[in-house]
Amino acid sequence: MGDWIAFWDSDHTIYVSACHRDVHFRTIAEDIASYVPSPAATILDYGCGEALYADRIAAKAQRLILVEAAPTVRAKLTARFGRDSRIEVKGPEGLAAVPEHSIDVAIVNSVAQYLTGPQLDALVGSLRRLLRPTGLLLVGDVIPPHLSVITDTLALLRFASQHGFVLAAVSGLLVTIVSDYRRLRTRLGLSRYAEGEMIQRLAAAGFSATRAARNIGHNQARMTFLARPCRSP
């Protein structure tokens, strides 16, 4: 995980243009905001990245906790949202200070692919401790086993066509072939989970889970899971 954190903390080119970066985070924020159950809710977004539109989520909730491991990204989040009393920025170690059963919705979006199975299980277990009995865990942007690079590429090009950055997307895809991201992905790989396997993993952690009708973000070939804590016998 450390290599991936270093990558996301670097001056990478994963977003092909300013427009791509903007609409990427706006789409994710709008998708997450749709799950906020009430203005009194406390939301936790683990591995939030740059979260440019986190204020749109916070506007529908009482409190939003952004958890990010990359220190430079975390500093930018603090600079961007430090004056918003509804938003708190933490590193992963800060989860230890979050009271048990205080979170209404926990989001783990586009994180599972960078974790090993045991690391994912440990994270899900720690978030279950924080969720209220009526809470919801969202595990988003999960890559299924047989999803191809071509499918991901076509999803990006469709997204680019909708938002007007097709030329930048084509150029960016060519740059990606020789990028640090491609080399890191080739060396470390990405974790993939079948629908049934993810549901079983969540069940082992004490959740009752189903696959959502839509994935968080633009790529609908990937999966989002809705998991609620099972009641103790």
The pLDDT of residue 14 is above 90:
no
Range with the lowest mean pLDDT among 2-16, 110-124, 131-145, 153-167? 2-16
Dihedral of the CA atoms 78, 43, 11, 15 (nearest 10)?
-140
Which of 104, 95, 96 lies closest to 47, judged by CA?
A: 95
- Report the chain's mean pLDDT, rounded to a whole number: 93
Give me Rg for the CA atoms of the chain.
17
Range with the lowest mean pLDDT among 3-12, 44-53, 75-84, 110-119? 3-12
Which tens digit of pLDDT belongs to each residue from 178-196? 677 777 777 777 899 999 9
Q: What is the DSSP string of 213-224?
A: SS-SSS-TTSEE
CA distance 142 to 131: 21
Domains detected in the chain: 2-229 (3.40.50.150)
Average pLDDT over residues 38-53: 97
Q: Please tell me the predicted confidence (pLDDT) of residue 1.
A: 63
Sheet holding 87-90, edge to edge: 87-90, 63-67, 42-46, 103-109, 131-142, 223-229, 207-211
The pLDDT of residue 109 is above 50:
yes
The pLDDT of residue 135 is above 50:
yes
The pLDDT of residue 175 is above 90:
no
- Where does the pLDDT of residue 201 fall: very low under 50, low under 70, confident under 90, or very high at 90 and above? very high
CA distance 173 to 4: 19
Range with the lowest mean pLDDT among 21-35, 124-138, 147-161, 164-178? 164-178
Q: Please tell me the predicted confidence (pLDDT) of residue 194.
A: 97
The pLDDT of residue 233 is above 50:
no
Which tens digit of pLDDT belongs to each residue from 55-69? 999 999 999 999 999
